[in-house]
Protein backbone atom coordinates (compact mmCIF):
# COMPACT_ATOMS: atom_id res chain seq x y z
CA UNK A 1 0.00 0.00 0.00
CA UNK A 2 1.22 3.50 -0.82
CA UNK A 3 2.50 5.34 2.24
CA UNK A 4 2.45 9.14 1.80
CA UNK A 5 4.92 9.71 4.64
CA UNK A 6 7.52 7.49 2.97
CA UNK A 7 7.66 9.74 -0.09
CA UNK A 8 7.16 13.22 1.38
CA UNK A 9 10.73 14.39 1.92
CA UNK A 10 12.40 14.33 -1.52
CA UNK A 11 12.07 13.30 -5.13
CA UNK A 12 11.44 9.56 -5.30
CA UNK A 13 11.99 7.48 -8.44
CA UNK A 14 10.20 4.21 -9.09
CA UNK A 15 11.90 2.62 -12.08
CA UNK A 16 10.14 -0.29 -13.80
CA UNK A 17 12.08 -2.56 -16.13
CA UNK A 18 11.70 -5.99 -17.67
CA UNK A 19 11.60 -7.79 -20.96
CA UNK A 20 9.33 -6.30 -23.63
CA UNK A 21 5.93 -7.91 -23.03
CA UNK A 22 6.52 -8.45 -19.31
CA UNK A 23 3.65 -6.13 -18.39
CA UNK A 24 5.44 -2.87 -17.60
CA UNK A 25 2.77 -0.65 -19.18
CA UNK A 26 -0.09 -2.24 -17.24
CA UNK A 27 1.83 -2.24 -13.97
CA UNK A 28 2.91 1.39 -14.31
CA UNK A 29 -0.55 2.63 -15.25
CA UNK A 30 -2.07 0.93 -12.22
CA UNK A 31 0.69 2.22 -9.96
CA UNK A 32 0.31 5.75 -11.31
CA UNK A 33 -3.47 5.66 -10.79
CA UNK A 34 -2.98 4.41 -7.22
CA UNK A 35 -0.34 6.98 -6.22
CA UNK A 36 -1.56 10.03 -8.16
CA UNK A 37 -4.96 9.81 -6.47
CA UNK A 38 -3.14 10.66 -3.23
CA UNK A 39 -0.18 12.67 -4.50
CA UNK A 40 -0.72 15.19 -7.34
CA UNK A 41 3.04 15.47 -7.84
CA UNK A 42 3.24 11.93 -9.24
CA UNK A 43 4.69 11.76 -12.77
CA UNK A 44 4.52 8.87 -15.23
CA UNK A 45 7.37 8.67 -17.74
CA UNK A 46 6.95 6.04 -20.48
CA UNK A 47 9.99 5.79 -22.73
CA UNK A 48 8.13 4.06 -25.54
CA UNK A 49 5.26 6.55 -25.57
CA UNK A 50 7.64 9.51 -25.72
CA UNK A 51 9.48 7.99 -28.68
CA UNK A 52 6.32 6.99 -30.56
CA UNK A 53 4.84 10.46 -30.03
CA UNK A 54 7.79 11.99 -31.89
CA UNK A 55 7.88 9.50 -34.76
CA UNK A 56 6.24 10.26 -38.12
CA UNK A 57 6.44 14.00 -37.53
CA UNK A 58 8.05 16.57 -39.83
CA UNK A 59 11.79 16.98 -39.44
CA UNK A 60 14.92 14.94 -39.84
CA UNK A 61 15.18 13.81 -36.20
CA UNK A 62 11.66 12.40 -36.32
CA UNK A 63 12.52 10.61 -39.56
CA UNK A 64 15.53 9.00 -37.85
CA UNK A 65 13.37 8.00 -34.88
CA UNK A 66 10.81 6.40 -37.22
CA UNK A 67 13.49 4.46 -39.09
CA UNK A 68 15.09 3.29 -35.84
CA UNK A 69 11.71 2.14 -34.45
CA UNK A 70 11.26 -0.15 -37.44
CA UNK A 71 14.38 -2.09 -36.43
CA UNK A 72 13.18 -2.84 -32.90
CA UNK A 73 16.23 -1.09 -31.43
CA UNK A 74 16.05 1.44 -28.60
CA UNK A 75 16.38 5.12 -29.38
CA UNK A 76 19.86 6.54 -28.72
CA UNK A 77 20.49 7.87 -25.25
CA UNK A 78 20.71 11.50 -26.35
CA UNK A 79 17.20 11.32 -27.83
CA UNK A 80 15.72 9.88 -24.64
CA UNK A 81 17.70 12.41 -22.63
CA UNK A 82 16.10 15.31 -24.49
CA UNK A 83 12.57 13.93 -24.29
CA UNK A 84 12.71 12.91 -20.62
CA UNK A 85 14.57 16.09 -19.71
CA UNK A 86 11.74 18.18 -21.13
CA UNK A 87 9.25 16.25 -19.00
CA UNK A 88 11.33 16.91 -15.88
CA UNK A 89 11.76 20.61 -16.66
CA UNK A 90 8.04 21.12 -17.13
CA UNK A 91 6.60 18.91 -14.41
CA UNK A 92 9.05 17.85 -11.67
CA UNK A 93 8.84 19.36 -8.19
CA UNK A 94 10.98 18.72 -5.12
CA UNK A 95 8.31 16.31 -3.86
CA UNK A 96 7.66 14.44 -7.10
CA UNK A 97 7.21 10.71 -7.28
CA UNK A 98 8.45 9.69 -10.72
CA UNK A 99 7.27 6.35 -12.10
CA UNK A 100 9.61 5.63 -15.00
CA UNK A 101 8.46 2.88 -17.33
CA UNK A 102 11.31 1.36 -19.33
CA UNK A 103 14.32 2.23 -17.23
CA UNK A 104 16.94 0.98 -16.62
CA UNK A 105 17.37 -0.54 -20.09
CA UNK A 106 20.70 0.14 -21.87
CA UNK A 107 24.14 -0.52 -20.44
CA UNK A 108 24.83 3.22 -20.13
CA UNK A 109 22.20 3.41 -17.34
CA UNK A 110 24.81 1.75 -15.12
CA UNK A 111 26.43 5.15 -14.65
CA UNK A 112 23.67 7.47 -15.86
CA UNK A 113 21.03 6.62 -13.27
CA UNK A 114 23.28 6.85 -10.18
CA UNK A 115 24.54 10.20 -11.48
CA UNK A 116 20.97 11.47 -11.89
CA UNK A 117 19.82 10.23 -8.48
CA UNK A 118 22.82 11.86 -6.81
CA UNK A 119 22.35 15.16 -8.68
CA UNK A 120 18.64 15.36 -7.80
CA UNK A 121 19.21 14.27 -4.18
CA UNK A 122 16.56 11.62 -4.78
CA UNK A 123 15.65 8.15 -3.58
CA UNK A 124 15.20 5.27 -5.98
CA UNK A 125 13.56 1.87 -6.26
CA UNK A 126 13.66 -0.49 -9.23
CA UNK A 127 10.94 -3.00 -10.02
CA UNK A 128 12.06 -5.84 -12.28
CA UNK A 129 9.11 -7.64 -13.90
CA UNK A 130 10.34 -11.14 -14.70
CA UNK A 131 8.72 -13.37 -17.32
CA UNK A 132 10.03 -15.93 -19.80
CA UNK A 133 10.79 -15.02 -23.40
CA UNK A 134 8.01 -17.34 -24.54
CA UNK A 135 5.45 -15.52 -22.40
CA UNK A 136 6.70 -12.09 -23.47
CA UNK A 137 6.70 -13.05 -27.16
CA UNK A 138 3.13 -14.31 -26.92
CA UNK A 139 2.03 -11.10 -25.20
CA UNK A 140 3.77 -8.87 -27.74
CA UNK A 141 2.15 -10.69 -30.66
CA UNK A 142 -1.25 -10.33 -28.99
CA UNK A 143 -0.60 -6.64 -28.33
CA UNK A 144 0.34 -6.05 -31.95
CA UNK A 145 -3.18 -6.96 -33.01
CA UNK A 146 -4.66 -3.94 -31.21
CA UNK A 147 -1.80 -1.42 -30.91
CA UNK A 148 0.33 0.30 -33.52
CA UNK A 149 3.88 -0.41 -32.40
CA UNK A 150 6.18 -0.36 -35.44
CA UNK A 151 9.16 -1.26 -33.25
CA UNK A 152 7.76 -4.75 -32.56
CA UNK A 153 5.53 -5.75 -35.48
CA UNK A 154 7.93 -7.95 -37.45
CA UNK A 155 9.68 -11.21 -36.59
CA UNK A 156 13.07 -9.50 -36.79
CA UNK A 157 12.11 -6.58 -34.54
CA UNK A 158 10.56 -8.95 -31.98
CA UNK A 159 13.76 -10.99 -31.91
CA UNK A 160 15.79 -7.78 -31.48
CA UNK A 161 13.61 -6.76 -28.53
CA UNK A 162 14.15 -10.06 -26.75
CA UNK A 163 17.88 -10.18 -27.48
CA UNK A 164 18.44 -6.60 -26.34
CA UNK A 165 17.05 -7.29 -22.87
CA UNK A 166 19.38 -10.24 -22.30
CA UNK A 167 22.38 -8.42 -23.73
CA UNK A 168 21.98 -4.99 -22.13
CA UNK A 169 19.38 -4.90 -19.36
CA UNK A 170 19.63 -8.24 -17.58
CA UNK A 171 23.30 -7.74 -16.59
CA UNK A 172 22.36 -4.42 -14.94
CA UNK A 173 20.09 -6.01 -12.33
CA UNK A 174 22.85 -7.45 -10.07
CA UNK A 175 24.71 -4.14 -10.33
CA UNK A 176 21.74 -2.13 -9.05
CA UNK A 177 20.95 -4.74 -6.40
CA UNK A 178 24.34 -4.11 -4.85
CA UNK A 179 24.26 -0.33 -5.32
CA UNK A 180 23.62 1.68 -2.12
CA UNK A 181 21.40 4.25 -3.89
CA UNK A 182 18.86 1.71 -5.17
CA UNK A 183 16.40 -0.80 -3.73
CA UNK A 184 15.51 -3.56 -6.20
CA UNK A 185 12.27 -5.55 -6.16
CA UNK A 186 11.97 -8.62 -8.41
CA UNK A 187 8.35 -9.40 -9.29
CA UNK A 188 7.07 -12.60 -10.90
CA UNK A 189 5.35 -11.26 -14.01
CA UNK A 190 4.06 -14.68 -15.09
CA UNK A 191 1.21 -14.13 -12.64
CA UNK A 192 -2.10 -12.38 -13.29
CA UNK A 193 -2.12 -8.58 -13.64
CA UNK A 194 -3.91 -8.35 -10.31
CA UNK A 195 -1.32 -10.47 -8.50
CA UNK A 196 1.62 -8.63 -10.09
CA UNK A 197 0.20 -5.30 -8.95
CA UNK A 198 -0.55 -6.66 -5.47
CA UNK A 199 3.02 -7.92 -5.11
CA UNK A 200 4.30 -4.56 -6.33
CA UNK A 201 2.31 -2.65 -3.71
CA UNK A 202 3.56 -4.95 -0.98
CA UNK A 203 7.15 -4.31 -2.05
CA UNK A 204 6.55 -0.56 -2.26
CA UNK A 205 5.25 -0.40 1.31
CA UNK A 206 8.41 -1.89 2.81
Q: Which domain holds residue 124?
A: 4-204
Residue 40: its pLDDT value, please?
87
Q: For residues 19 and 119, give the distance between their C-alpha atoms in angstroms, rounded to a whole number.
A: 28
| Domain CATH code at residue 191 | 3.40.50.300
Per mean pLDDT, which range of 1-10, 119-128, 157-166 is the poorest? 1-10
Q: Which residue has the higher pLDDT, 6 or 39?
A: 39
Q: How far apart are CA 140 and CA 182, in angstroms?
A: 29
pLDDT on residue 9: 60
Residue-wise DSSP of 23-69:
SHHHHHHHHHHHHHTT-TTEEEEEHHHHHHHTTTSSSHHHHHHHHHH
DSSP β-ladder status, 97-101 and 42-46: parallel
Chain segment 38-84, per-residue pLDDT in tens: 888 999 999 888 888 888 788 998 899 888 887 777 788 888 888 89
Which regions of 70-166 does DSSP assign to beta strands (E)? Answer: 97-101, 123-130
Mean pLDDT value across residues 118-129: 95
pTM here?
A: 0.86
Other residues' Cβ atoms within 10 Å of the Cβ of residue 206? 9
Structural domains in the chain (count)? 1
Rounded Cα distance between 189 and 186, Å, is 9
Amino acid sequence: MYNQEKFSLMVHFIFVTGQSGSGKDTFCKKLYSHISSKNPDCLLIVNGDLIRAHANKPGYLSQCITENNATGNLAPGFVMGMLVGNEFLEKMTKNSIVIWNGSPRPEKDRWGLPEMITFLKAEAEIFVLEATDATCLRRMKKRNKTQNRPESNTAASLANKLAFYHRETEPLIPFFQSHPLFTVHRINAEQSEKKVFSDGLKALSK
